[in-house]
Structure 1
Amino acid sequence: MAKKITILGAGLSGLLTAYHLQNKGFDIEIVEARDRVGGRIHTIKDSNTQIEMGATWFNDAHTNFRTLLSEFNLGYYEQFMTGTSFFEPFSAAPPQEIDIPQNSPSYRITGGTSQLIDSILNKLIGITTHLNEAVTNINFENNIIKVTTTNTILETDYVISTLPQALFTHDIMVVPSLPIQLQDLAEKTHTWMQDAIKVAFVYDTAFWRNKNISGTLFSNVGPITEFYDQSNDALTTFALCGFISSGMEMYTKEERLIKLKTQLEKVFGQEALQFTSYHETVWSKEEFTKSAKQIGFMYPHQNNGHPLFRKNYCDNRLLFAGTETAQQHPGYMEGAVVAAQRVANEILKLENKL
């Protein structure tokens, strides 16, 4: 009988791990707590406009990620940065005009980042993905692992978790208990996007481009801290998208929008208020990204790539993937690709199939 593998999380690492292990003689299923696949990759559509509420950019150093895009025949294009950009050093000063050197470009996937998720999902033949199903307990005491979800009890031979580390250790009861050192490390590990608020404004025209403005803003003042042009490569849809201060979490959506509009007009002028729609995602309130039990300040990428996350646990039956476990570029989409390949290879090695 084929060994069974249960993968927790249907984000990039989870789907890609399943992709690498399919047709290798395993019975594979994926369990996802959200009502969608993609995890922290989340492209939403407003009419024909793709808005990135999660992972968006990659660069030339992300070689494994670019190879993956080639494998799935997905195109990408350079982030528009041409023209005047703005910097707000402090509130008493007007925005400063700056030019950004074009020596280290970043890129976006044609059609949106979720194109990659959909492409991988379409290649998963005979692999079941359970949505709206959060894992609550995992019992490793017997030869067959029992995974309890909000809907059912699954039996498996291997568990691969691609969940944020603190979410796994806080929100899932593991029997027998995981090593204290691992639990303590997970508590102090930053999850990419866990404290981010991403916002987007959709427009009928790219008014900023017509004024030789890049749409880029860096601000020490806020509430917008980073802003970029998010028009598509065909220049048929237009948007500005970026991050706002995590402290804006305390306000309502309506209150945030009022503050954002004030800054938009100050930096980009009256035309910036002629948006057709507004979107936001407060990632700290995404219960399947950040555990409510994780407390304390963490630096970006804190403890990402720690070697303890690349060890096997529970008699080699529990393995961790996910971008924060990667030795190279942890926290980025590149890290998710690296982590998925490593864990797939580890499973094959354990089964003497590599």
Structure 2
Amino acid sequence: MTHFKYVIIGAGLSGLTSAYYLNKLGESNYLVLESRDRIGGRIFTKNGIDLGATWFQNHHEMVVNFLNELQLESFDQYSKGKSILLYDPNRPVHYFESDPNAQAAKRIKGNSVSLIRRLSQSSMDKIKLYTIVQEIIDKGDHLKIVTNKETFTASKVILTIPPKLVSQLQFTPDLNISTKKILASTPTWMEHSIKVGITYEKAFWRNKNFSGTLIGQSGAVTELYDHCDPTTGIISLMGFVSENLREQNVDQRKKIILDYIANQLGTEVYNYLNYEENDWSKDPNTSNSLLTKFSRTHNYGHPVMQESIFNDKLIFSGTETSQLNAGYMDGAIYSGIRSAAHWNKPYFSNANSK
């Protein structure tokens, strides 16, 4: 068995943030375990479409500062022209225009995956994909991590997977009942979402003075937005699909979605280049058949998730654990920094005082 000072479980935004800060400490004795075939977690970009985390706001200071440090640029969400509000299909469509002076949501140039690529540059050789953690065992002076491939030992473990999935891991000794109950009842950000993205040769909606924004809680697409990216040159629409369509087969759902959007923006909708969708409830690394039964009332940032366990050898991380902007990229970054700082407080205190 190979021993590491730190093992980070999960190569999403929070896990990669912890790895990034360990590198800044000059720490190289760490390993990142990732069950997926890719890094990024719930930041997932496919053919230029952000099918996971997409937006941030100016008050998300962790994201803003991180982008500056990593020399990544952002841009305002496009909102010029008529937007569509359709809450009741039996009532007329309501058109509105966004206040040009209002603070716009922001996106990362080159898609959200640009943040993951830049963040992981210093740790790619320390990431093991297709590696599923099955059990974590307290051995006294270290932890033993059993996976589907190998077994590792670590002095410290940062566990970044969603709390509900953490509650289903095997621990020896087991977590106490109250902790497991809190973890199990914490909704996973994105677990209910179905996202869709459609690419085109031209932004036909802009030529018709539409912003691309469509809001309608009773329709096939509950939210739709212009998703063009000036960096990649990819022209697209992207939004959230009604959960009522989850049990439709792919072809049926696609037809319903395209018909719905075409009714509002025009038949040009059918002349697409690529059609992408992602149902996060079907992703076993995000959700499972049990997760959707829980209430969406959340325990984000619960005090239990701030506590270390196994005599300060393991801490919880991830956006759901954050006490700042939980459920957003900002919360994921905050939790990642907090985790790296947990055993390195003198360094972080000195860095913050400079």
TM-score normalized by the length of structure 2: 0.93
Structure 1 range deviating more: 281-290 or 16-25? 16-25
Contact kept, 8 Å, 1:165 with 1:187, in 2: the verdict is yes
Aligned to 1:66: 64
C-alpha distance in 2 between matches for 1:111 and 1:346: 32
Counterpart residue number, 2:187: 190
Q: What SS is found at the alignment partner of 2:187?
A: coil
- In the TM superposition, residue 298 of structure 1 has moved relative to its aligned partner by 2.4
Q: Quote the offset at 1:80 in angstroms.
A: 0.1
Q: Secondary structure at the match of 1:5?
A: strand
1:220 partner amino acid: Q
Partner of 1:309: 305
CA distance in 1, matches of 2:292, 2:207: 45
Residue 9 of structure 1 corresponds to: 10
- Name the structure 2 match of 1:119: 118
Deviation digits for residues 165-203 of structure 1 (CA, Å, limit 9, x no counterpart): 011111x10111112111111111111110100001111
**CA 1:116–1:286: 2 relative to 1, 3 Å:** same
User: Which residue in 2 is equivalent to 1:166?
Assistant: 164
One-letter code aligned to 1:290: S
Residue matched to 1:36: 38
Aligned to 2:50: 52
2:109 is aligned to 110
- Is 1:271 matched up with 2:272? no
Alignment of 1:338 with 2:340, yes or no, is no
Q: Determine the C-alpha separation between the residues in 1 that align with 2:310 and 2:74.
A: 41
Whether contact under 8 Å (2:145, 2:152) holds in the other structure is yes
Q: Structure 1: state its 5+ residue gaps.
A: none
Separation in structure 1 between the aligned mates of residue 292 and residue 277 of structure 2, nearest angstrom: 23
Distance, in Å, in 2 between the alignment partners of 1:193 and 1:260 is 20
Residue 3 of structure 1: CA displacement?
A: 6.0
2:318 pairs with 1:322: yes
Task: Using the TM superposition, give the Cα deviation of residue 26 of structure 1 relative to its aligned residue in structure 2, in angstroms.
Answer: 5.4
1:147 aligns with 2:145: yes
Q: Which moved more, 1:141-150 or 1:291-300?
A: 291-300
Q: CA deviation at 1:157?
A: 0.9
d(CA) in 1 for partners of 2:59, 2:348: 32
Is 1:205–1:238's contact at 8 Å kept on the other side of the alignment? yes
Report if aligned partners of 2:109, 2:231 keep a CA contact under 8 Å in 1.
Answer: no
Identity percentage of aligned residues: 32
* Structure-2 change in CA distance of 1:298 and 1:181 (3 Å): same
Instruction: Give the superposition deviation at 1:353.
Output: 9.8
Q: Does 1:137 align with 2:135?
A: yes
Aligned-residue CA RMSD (Å): 2.0
Query: Secondary structure of 1:122's partner?
Result: coil
| Counterpart residue type for residue 326 of structure 1 | S
Residue 204 in structure 1 maps to residue 206 in structure 2: no
Deviation at 1:142, TM superposition (A): 3.1
State how far apart, in whole Å, the 1-side matches of 2:63 and 2:9 are. 21
Q: Contact conserved, 2:164 with 2:186, CA < 8 A, in 1? A: yes
The aligned counterpart of 2:155 is: 157
> What does the per-residue CA deviation read over 1:258-302, in whole Å, with 9 as the maximum and x for residues that have no partner?
1112211211111122112210000000000113343523226x1
How big is the shift at 1:95? 2.4
Amino acid of the structure 1 residue aligned with 2:60: H
Rounded Cα–Cα distance in structure 2 between residues aligned with 1:345 and 1:177: 26
| Stretch deviating more after TM superposition (160-169 or 116-125) | 116-125
Alpha-carbon displacement from aligned partner over 1:70-101 (angstroms, at most 9, x marks no partner): 11100110000111000112121242212223
How many residues align? The count is: 346
Is the partner of 2:343 in helix, strand or coil? Answer: helix
CA gap 1:67/1:350 in 2 versus in 1, 3 angstroms = closer
Q: Out of 225, 246, 256, which is 1:228 matched to? A: 225
Q: Which amino acid aligns with 1:36?
A: R
CA distance in 2, matches of 1:265, 1:6: 49
- Deviation for aligned residue 1:352: 11
Letter in 1 for 2:110: G
For normalisation by structure 1, the TM-score amounts to 0.93
SS in 1 for 2:337: helix
